Amino acid sequence: MAGALTRYRVMAYVVGVMLLVLVFVAVPLRYAAGVPEVSAVVSPLHGFLYIVYLVAAFDLALKARFTAKGTVLVLLAGVVPFVSFWAERRVSLRVRAGQPL
């Protein structure tokens, strides 16, 4: 389970950073400055990485036996800025302690 947790933690941070870049850099550049190129690169990259995050989070959920509600909440954590960082910390602490999520 340690490998699944590590994969999840890495992807949570990567997706969180990419979402922040998308929301606070790419989208403002697109709509305020008229520079759509950054958004054209960051948007699909975030989408692809989010799918990898979903796979890593679902793998961890199966191995750590998350509840259905806990699984859905962890899967959705990658779509709200800053939430993936909070969720990663909470999930890591609970999985290491052997507590259900």
pLDDT digits (tens, 9 = 90+) for 10-30: 999 999 999 999 999 999 999
Q: Answer whether residue 98 shows pLDDT above 90.
A: no
- Answer whether 73's CB lies under 8 Å from 15's CB: no
How many Cβ atoms from other residues are within 10 Å of residue 34's Cβ?
7
* pLDDT tens by residue, 46-96: 999 999 999 999 999 999 999 999 999 999 998 999 999 999 999 999 999
Burial of 29 (0-12, 13-18, 19+ CB in 10 A): middle
Q: Answer whether residue 100 shows pLDDT above 80.
A: no
Q: HSE-up of 18 (CA within 13 Å, CB side)?
A: 22
Domain boundaries, the chain: 2-97
CA separation for the pair 69, 74 (Å, rounded): 9
Gyration radius of the chain's alpha carbons: 15
Contacts of 82 (CB under 8 A, 6+ apart): 16, 20
Query: What are residue 79's phi and psi, to 5 degrees?
Result: -110, -5
